[in-house]
Amino acid sequence: MTQVKSFPPLLGSSANALIVGSMPGAASLAANQYYAHPRNAFWPIMGELFGADPNFDYQRRVVRLTQAHIAVWDVIGACVRPGSLDADIQHEGMVVNDFRGLLDRHPEICRVYFNGAKAEQLFEKMVLPTLANGDVFRRRLPSTSPANASMKFQKKLAAWRCIVDDSALPRNAGRS
């Protein structure tokens, strides 16, 4: 089987929140864009919260998101996974992205949001032990994936709204 590789982080100069996924799906890898599957709720939610309208071209959405101080990255940098389901990710040979380096270079990132349970599980198991200061504010949100179709869009949007609400947290709420 072929190894798939993730993308570099979407990161502006002043990000203070990081949205973490597991690994881009097949549609995203083919398009070379985060959350490219047309039924993924990520960009519609980002449109509602930060003006990153899903009807904008990808670069314009990315600019809107980074202007809102939001960064995006995935736990996994490379792995073998047939298809797009997180359950199909093979742990043997998995390469984890360098979150310690990212967070050391960007200490202003004080909040981490997980796009679903798998991203949180992988981060807690494979990234958190590598962090110099693991006391970063973390919150799991419902997956925006079309595989999470049992949760309606409005309920997902309501849950994701906490990113805006949490922006009022003190800068040191999670990291010292």
pLDDT, one tens digit per residue, over 121-163 is 999 999 998 887 666 899 999 999 988 889 999 999 999 999 9
Known catalytic residues are: 40
- Is 152 among the domain residues? yes
* Domain coverage including residue 16: 3-166
- Is 175 among the domain residues? no
The enclosing domain of 160 has a CATH number of 3.40.470.10
- Is 133 among the domain residues? yes
Helix H or strand E encompassing 78 = strand 76-80
pTM of the predicted protein model: 0.90
Helix H or strand E encompassing 19 = strand 17-21
- Is 130 among the domain residues? yes
Task: Look at the chain and report how many structural domains it folds into.
Answer: 1
User: What secondary structure, in 3-state letters, does 132-162 show?
Assistant: CCCCCEEEEECCCCHHHCCCCHHHHHHHHCH
- Is 176 among the domain residues? no
- Is 138 among the domain residues? yes
Q: What is the pLDDT of residue 133?
A: 66
- Is 128 among the domain residues? yes
Question: Consecutive 10-residue runs of the chain (176 residues): their mean pLDDT?
Answer: 86 93 89 95 97 96 96 89 60 86 92 95 92 82 92 96 78 44
Strands across the sheet with 70-74, in order? 70-74, 17-21, 111-115, 137-141
- Is 125 among the domain residues? yes
